[in-house]
């Protein structure tokens, strides 16, 4: 009996020692794997840094910056602004650093012309950003009438086919803008932008000819979109001509009267001309201004009214939904 008890104790002790050694072994293996992962990450980062250094050292410009030499192959910024001079200065200064930017056109609808102080500052910034023979043109498109339609009026001296329409209170990294420009060149008849929105049939109305407007949460929830807002979007300059000369008069009047929905009107115009959806480009957006009209009460209802009015004016619903998103895979690990 006593021997049996000792035997059991010895067996239990052996199992304990075996369990402890097993745990230690597993712990060592886990630590080893973690060390390998960390080492691999450091190697990748060092290799990436070495590669970029090598490109700079050999004075080789990345292909995306050398493919386009003709001025018509660059792009122009058309920026809408209204009495926010500090934001305008900040935005212009930022975008002048973008490599393929050819010109900046500021849509000016204020009753007074641009001040000498503002003009002097902006021209100084342009001069300071001019390097290696590159000079970005800066022009004010002054309008007598205060209307949101002004941002899409035809510009006679616009030298590039590509237009990047942008508000004065939003900033995107130049790398994101350049990538969006590359995407636009693959489909120059469509709109390519950073801010998606969606519409859908309002089934509660029964007939199927009434629609609802959805903001970002609707895009995120459904995974689809049918518009990209002109507050940050590329499109062909020919749409300025179409907007000015062929947009239904009722839509132009509605936009002027209500000071809203010019971006939806442009989405309708492009979709009506192409029969195709826009392209949403993933990018980081930095809003440097205060909250706009989208934060006001009843915003979605007003936009829904715009969608239905514009569909009636066009005689059909031209917007096309899609779930495609353009992502620059060079800047992310998983996509």
Choose from 15-19, 25-29, 112-116, 284-288 the range with maximum mean pLDDT.
112-116
Any idea what the CATH number is for the domain that residue 121 is in?
A: 3.90.550.10
**What does the alpha-carbon distance between residue 59 and residue 121 come to, in Å, rounded to a whole number?**
33
Catalytic residue among 168, 169, 182, 263: 263
| pLDDT greater than 90 at residue 115 | yes
Beta strands in 119-273 (DSSP E): 137-142, 162-167, 170-171, 192-193, 196-201, 211-214, 227-228, 232-236
70 is catalytic: no
Residue 321 lies in a domain: yes
CB atoms within 10 A of CB 276: 15
Residue 32 lies in a domain: no
Q: By the 8 A CB rule, do 95 and 178 touch?
A: no
Sorting pLDDT into bands at 50, 70 and 90, what band is 32? low
Q: How many domains does the chain have?
A: 1
Residue 301 lies in a domain: yes
Q: Which residues pair with 287 in a beta bridge?
A: 170
Residue 38 lies in a domain: no
CB atoms within 10 A of CB 273: 16
End-to-end CA distance of the chain: 68
Location of structure tokens 């794997």: 33
Report the range of poorest mean pLDDT among 41-55, 81-95, 174-188, 241-255. 41-55
pLDDT the model gives residue 292 = 56
pLDDT the model gives residue 132 = 76
Q: Given the DSSP bridges, would you call strands 211-214 and 196-201 parallel, antiparallel or unpaired? A: antiparallel
pLDDT, tens digit (0-9, with 9 covering 90-100), for 206-261: 767 899 999 999 999 999 999 999 999 999 999 999 999 999 999 999 999 999 99
Its domain, for residue 280, covers 75-331
Location of structure tokens 């508000």: 167
pLDDT, tens digit (0-9, with 9 covering 90-100), for 47-56: 444 443 333 2
**What does the alpha-carbon distance between residue 239 and residue 259 come to, in Å, rounded to a whole number?**
20
| pLDDT greater than 70 at residue 67 | no
pLDDT the model gives residue 71 = 40
3-state SS, one letter per residue, for 83-136: CCHHHHHHHHHHHCCCCCEEEEEEEECCCCCCCHHHHHHHHHHHHHHCCCCCCC
Tokens, residue 191? 């709109």
The phi and psi torsions of 280 (rounded to 5 degrees) equal -90, 125
Residue 66 lies in a domain: no
| pLDDT greater than 50 at residue 63 | no
Residue 47 lies in a domain: no
Q: 78 by DSSP, 3-state: which?
A: strand
**What does the alpha-carbon distance between residue 113 and residue 266 come to, in Å, rounded to a whole number?**
27
Location of structure tokens 């022009």: 139
Residue 147 lies in a domain: yes
């Amino acid at each position: 009996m006593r021997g049996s008890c000792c035997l059991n104790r010895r067996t239990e002790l052996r199992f304990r020692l075996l369990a402890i050694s097993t745990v230690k072994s597993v712990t060592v293996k886990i630590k080893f794997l973690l060390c390998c992962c960390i080492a691999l990450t450091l190697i990748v980062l060092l290799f990436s840094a070495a590669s970029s250094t090598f490109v700079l050292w050999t004075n080789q410009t990345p292909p995306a910056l050398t493919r386009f030499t003709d001025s018509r192959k660059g792009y122009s910024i058309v920026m809408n602004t209204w009495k926010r001079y500090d934001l305008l200065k900040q935005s212009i200064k930022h975008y002048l650093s973008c490599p393929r930017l050819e010109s900046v056109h500021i849509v000016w609808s204020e009753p007074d012309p641009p001040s000498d102080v503002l003009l002097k500052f902006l021209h100084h910034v342009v001069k300071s950003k001019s390097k290696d023979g590159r000079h970005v043109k800066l022009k004010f498109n002054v309008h007598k009438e205060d209307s949101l339609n002004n941002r899409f009026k035809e510009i006679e001296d616009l030298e590039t086919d590509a237009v990047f329409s942008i508000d004065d209170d939003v900033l995107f990294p130049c790398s994101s803008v350049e990538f969006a420009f590359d995407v636009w060149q693959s489909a120059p008849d469509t709109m390519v932008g950073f801010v998606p929105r969606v519409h859908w049939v309002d089934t509660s109305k029964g007939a199927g000819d009434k629609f609802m407007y959805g903001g970002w949460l609707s895009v995120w929830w459904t995974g689809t979109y049918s518009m990209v807002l002109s507050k940050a979007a590329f499109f062909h300059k020919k749409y300025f001509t179409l907007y000015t000369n062929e947009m239904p008069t009722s839509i132009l009047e509605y936009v002027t009267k209500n000071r809203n929905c010019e971006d939806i009107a442009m989405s309708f115009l492009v979709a009506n001309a192409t029969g195709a959806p826009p392209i949403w480009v993933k990018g980081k957006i930095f809003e440097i201004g205060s909250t706009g009209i989208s934060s006001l009460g009843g915003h979605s209802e007003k936009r829904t009214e715009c969608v239905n009015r514009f569909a009636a004016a066009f005689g059909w619903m031209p917007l096309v939904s899609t779930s495609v998103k353009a992502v620059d895979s060079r800047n992310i690990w998983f996509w």
